[in-house]
Structure 1
Amino acid sequence: MAQLIGVDLGGTAIKLGRFSLDGELLAELEVPTPQPTMPGAVVIAIVEAVQQLDPERLASCVGLGLPGPMDAAGRVARVCINLPGWEQVPLAEWLEPQLQRRVTLANDGNCAVVGEAWQGAARGYQDVLLLTLGTGVGGGVLLGGRLFTGNGGAAAEPGLICIDPEGPPCNSGNRGSLEQFCSIGALARQSSLTPHELCQRADAGDPEALAIWQCYGRHLGVGLSSLIYVLTPELVLIGGGLSAASHHFLPSALEEVEHRVQRESRQGLEIRRCALGNGAGRLGAARLALDRLLHV
């Protein structure tokens, strides 16, 4: 029986899953992302991880999610602003001879929203905005039930919208982007604690930790407000590693959205955490491989 492999490349970890054609997880693996995250080192790590995950070569194709826009054909990583050396990298062309399988590429946020639409919290919804909060801030958009990638495949980079024109510089060339206020690095500017430690402190009622998460939520709410005005989604999903602390920051984000967005533009809107957690990206990557490489 044909199977699929989905790969989610992040700044600190590469998450892989082997799936049946109906999305059942059959095997999984997580390996560290090489540091520095140069393309050649990542190719080696992915090839070794896929061979470990699927030694009997049961999967016929691979979907790979990366933090940045791809070309329209899903063959070239055009740029990954938080990974060094990632500009116009023909990653599918490099991987296919070594994996001896067809490969397709997609933005990791796009993969996450496709995964949630297939097996998670976005099932049955037509207009969805998903944000991934982690090393960077990414995201994906469904409009009318279809993945929105815009002109040339580069649309839906919600983390790069500006929320403070005088804010910290962003690797994109922008200043004060949402990513500069809602990424792991943004939290590090406010606290020496890791996000996990900060969440634990807040769980224990530490006032300083609670205040940091509340401020984080306000910034997230400001960014969401602009995105909601443009997209008017039915559903906003929050994913990525930092979503584990969503119980601390979503209330202030929701308050900001209610304050800033007129009622007509948020009618029926739901905002909640992803159902699949960090597994959404690899599942969505596998689904895109199914749609692009097997359903042809």
Structure 2
Amino acid sequence: MGLRIGVDLGGTNLRVALVKEDGKIVRDMERKTEVAKGPQYIIDKMIDMIREMKGDEVIKGVGVGCPGPLDPKTGVIYNPPNLPGWNNIPLANILEKSLYEHVKIDNDANAAALAEAKFGAGVGAESVYYITVSTGVGGGFVLDGKVFQGAAGYAGEIGNMIILPGGPTHNSLNAGALESLASGTAIGLSGQKGGMSGGAEEVIHLASLGNPTAQTILDNAINYLAIGIANLVHSVNPSIFVLGGGVMKSERQLLEPIKEKVKNYVYPRLKETINIVPASLGPKAGVIGSAFLIH
């Protein structure tokens, strides 16, 4: 029975799982990341969790899904916004020297994309574009069962795609980038201007109750996301789009409007070919997909 270990390194939680070749989790554990304690503390905790998870098992290797920016080819992490102090950390090399196992790292959205393509909503599709709409907006493109990374490992970074030139800024992204317009953070900030202090969750809830201000905020975010998806339709034309992330938990309110809006922005012959579905693996997609970064 082939086994591998997946690690999902997030700004809030650190997850480690022992995963079978069919994508099923044998066992897993989760701890708080505790980012304020710095990279060495977190890496030591990660190593302890991996060793505990492995036990006496023989594994194929360890895959780690991390926030970007990072270089999947060298295994170096470059100062992600939600991992303060992680400046040029050669994570793959550190883990290999400590664990004596083959280690691969990649963007966390790519890891989730791989899981959905192999075992989730994208099973059987030649090409899968996964989009996560949560605190930020991320993406990953899986072609013929493999993550398409691009020349420098940044393929799929759709959060920085310019949708509204001169629009709002967010973190170090371009003005009017998709993340600054359609993420949970962006929806929450727009809600604050309308007197809603409960973030994207409150905006979405109030829209469901017929609040016109909340509905306008949500409609704008849906429209911007649809423009982003239409851009991807015309550039890579994937077999299927899989939408995940915390905001998409409200798929009943969001999915059909997104589908209809996308049709407004694509060639007429493409309108009926676009397949947009919700993610199916939930929050463990990242740790499952990370395990399969090891070929």
TM over 0.5: yes
Query: Structure 1, residues 6-59: CA drift from partner, whole Å, max 9, x if none?
Result: 11222322233211232221112222222338433431332343345x162436
Indicate which of 219, 222, 232 corresponds to 1:227: 232
Alignment of 1:259 with 2:264, yes or no, is yes
Residue aligned with 2:142, SS? strand
User: Distance between the aligned counterparts of 1:55 and 1:16, measured in 2?
Assistant: 10
User: Distance between the aligned counterparts of 2:268 and 2:103, measured in 1?
Assistant: 44
Residue aligned with 1:96, SS? helix
Tell me if structure 2 keeps the 8 A contact 1:67–1:138.
no
Letter in 2 for 1:101: E
Is 267-276 or 188-197 further displaced after alignment? 188-197
Measured after TM superposition, the shift of residue 101 of structure 1 is 3.2
Is 15-24 or 154-163 further displaced after alignment? 15-24
Partner of 2:183: 183
User: Distance between the aligned counterparts of 1:106 and 1:116, measured in 2?
Assistant: 15
Measured after TM superposition, the shift of residue 119 of structure 1 is 0.8
User: Distance between the aligned counterparts of 2:43 and 2:130, measured in 1?
Assistant: 27
Partner of 1:239: 244
Partner of 2:287: 282
Measured after TM superposition, the shift of residue 203 of structure 1 is 5.1
Tell me if structure 2 keeps the 8 A contact 1:9–1:15.
yes
Tell me if structure 1 keeps the 8 A contact 2:230–2:265.
yes
Change (3 A) 1:190 1:24: same
User: Distance between the aligned counterparts of 1:262 and 1:37, measured in 2?
Assistant: 51
Matches within 5 A, 1:174-213: 174-191=174-191, 192-202=197-207, 208-213=213-218
Note the aligned Cα RMSD (angstroms). 2.5
User: Distance between the aligned counterparts of 1:275 and 1:71, measured in 2?
Assistant: 28
User: Distance between the aligned counterparts of 1:200 and 1:26, measured in 2?
Assistant: 36
Measured after TM superposition, the shift of residue 216 of structure 1 is 2.2
Letter in 2 for 1:214: D
Query: Structure 1, residues 214-245: CA drift from partner, whole Å, max 9, x if none?
Result: 33212211211212211111211111222211
Letter in 2 for 1:177: A
User: Distance between the aligned counterparts of 1:58 and 1:13, measured in 2?
Assistant: 25
User: Distance between the aligned counterparts of 1:147 and 1:210, measured in 2?
Assistant: 36
Partner of 2:140: 140
Letter in 2 for 1:276: L
Letter in 2 for 1:67: P
Identity of aligned residues (%): 34
User: Distance between the aligned counterparts of 1:195 and 1:41, measured in 2?
Assistant: 32
Measured after TM superposition, the shift of residue 129 of structure 1 is 1.1
Letter in 1 for 2:230: S
Letter in 2 for 1:233: P
Residue aligned with 1:283, SS? helix
Is 187-196 or 146-155 further displaced after alignment? 187-196
Residue aligned with 1:188, SS? helix
Is 186-195 or 18-27 further displaced after alignment? 186-195
User: Distance between the aligned counterparts of 2:31 and 2:211, measured in 1?
Assistant: 33
Partner of 2:194: none
Aligned residues: 289
Measured after TM superposition, the shift of residue 66 of structure 1 is 1.2
Change (3 A) 1:173 1:213: closer
Tell me if structure 1 keeps the 8 A contact 2:35–2:84.
no
Is 144-153 or 255-264 further displaced after alignment? 144-153
Partner of 1:294: none
> Normalising to structure 2: TM-score of the pair?
0.86
User: Distance between the aligned counterparts of 1:199 and 1:57, measured in 2?
Assistant: 47
Is 133-142 or 84-93 further displaced after alignment? 84-93
Runs of 4+ in 1 over 6 A off after TM superposition: none
> Normalising to structure 1: TM-score of the pair?
0.86
Change (3 A) 1:189 1:33: same
Letter in 1 for 2:127: D
Tell me if structure 1 keeps the 8 A contact 2:244–2:278.
yes
Alignment of 1:39 with 2:44, yes or no, is no
Residue aligned with 1:19, SS? strand
Measured after TM superposition, the shift of residue 104 of structure 1 is 1.1
Tell me if structure 1 keeps the 8 A contact 2:72–2:105.
no
